Amino acid sequence: MSQHDQAQPLSVHTHSEFEIIQTNCQNNGNLSEELQEANKELTMWQEKLSDKWDNGAKLKDKLLQLENELQRKRAHCDLLSTKCQIKAVLPEQNIKFTKSEESVPTDKEGDEFLKIKCCYTILPKVSLLLQNGQALITFEEEQVANEILKASKHQINLDPGKLNMKVQPIKLDTARKFEIHLDISRKMVKVSKIPDVLPEEQMRDKLEINFSKPSQGGGEVEEIIYDCLSGTAIVTFVEKGVAQRVAERKEYCIIINAETSIWVAVESGIDYSLEKFQTFNGICKRTVLLSDIKSGMEEEELQDKLEIHFQKPSNHGGEVVNIKYVPKDKQLTMYFEEDTAEQ
């Protein structure tokens, strides 16, 4: 056996090398445990995240439901607001308040006469559109209308032929009634359209100077409240009656200096309030609606036929107060007042 063929001795690890290997094994074990812990933590956070997503989806659904409910309630509120709106065009009236000769002189009147109090009851007329072949008939007695309405159809004997028609109660739109209370001040006027040409304090002084001039209808000023932003002011006079004189002018001249003057708008100081607002459905207790009337007769002739028929006690009728028929190809708007009297 040659020297090269001799068996090689087994390698022998030193003590330090064994410690390295053992340390590496321990490190691998620790890493595995850390991975397991990290995996557990990852699973936990994934579950929490999944719960958050589920809760978020539920909250989105809830939010959508609430938004839909809010829109529904807003639509309902808009409907109620529309129904409760007061739209009444009041005619312009020139009202002049005078005192009798026997009344107490102005300078002797107490504080209870500082304002003129007015009350207007507003009841817009309720309308009904009559189409061709329809008629309204109003009876003297409510009981007669009730008897007529017990039969939904009526027949009038003509010579020759017969005339058939339907009888219905009248359904009117919602009516609104309210009162407007006005307190017209006898010592105060409202001023507007004041241009912003002077500092606030200086303009207040100019207003007081000019509204104190008897030559322009003014008088001694007790107080001035001036708002430069809106260009308005409230002028209160010491004596009653001055405010009325000034307000009647509609416009008032304010002298700024020898070269400049301005015109402002003046009106009575009025406080108003809306009271006793009521809504109710119009009910016609003495008037009935006749419809589906097919006839070629003239308007007046047919009205006579209807009145004769519905006045007969044998037809459960009674005295007719008013009757109106709308002939072919025509229509008519009827108005009802509070006592249901047609106009």
Cis, peptide link before residue 214, omega less than 30° from 0: no
**Residue 298 pLDDT exceeds 60:** yes
Q: Phi, psi (5° rounding) for residue 152?
A: -75, -20
Question: Is 289 in a helix, a strand, or coil?
Answer: strand
Q: How long is the chain?
A: 343
CA distance 332 to 327: 10
CB contact at 8 A, 180 and 120 = yes
Give the contacts of 45 (CB within 8 A, at least 6 positions apart).
Answer: none
Q: What is the pLDDT of residue 4?
A: 47
Q: How many CB atoms neighbour CB 152 within 10 A?
A: 8
CA distance 303 to 281: 28
- Closest residue by Cα to residue 303 from 293, 292, 313: 293
Structure confidence by residue, pLDDT tens digits, 140-184 = 999 999 998 888 888 888 877 888 889 988 877 777 777 888 888
pTM of the prediction? 0.44
- Closest residue by Cα to residue 268 from 109, 114, 112: 114
Buried b (16+ CB within 10 A) or exposed e, 213-252: eeebbbbebeebebeeeebbbebbbeebebbbebbeeeeb
Listed ranges 48-57, 204-213, 309-318, 332-341; the one with the highest mean pLDDT: 204-213
Q: What is the pLDDT of residue 179?
A: 81
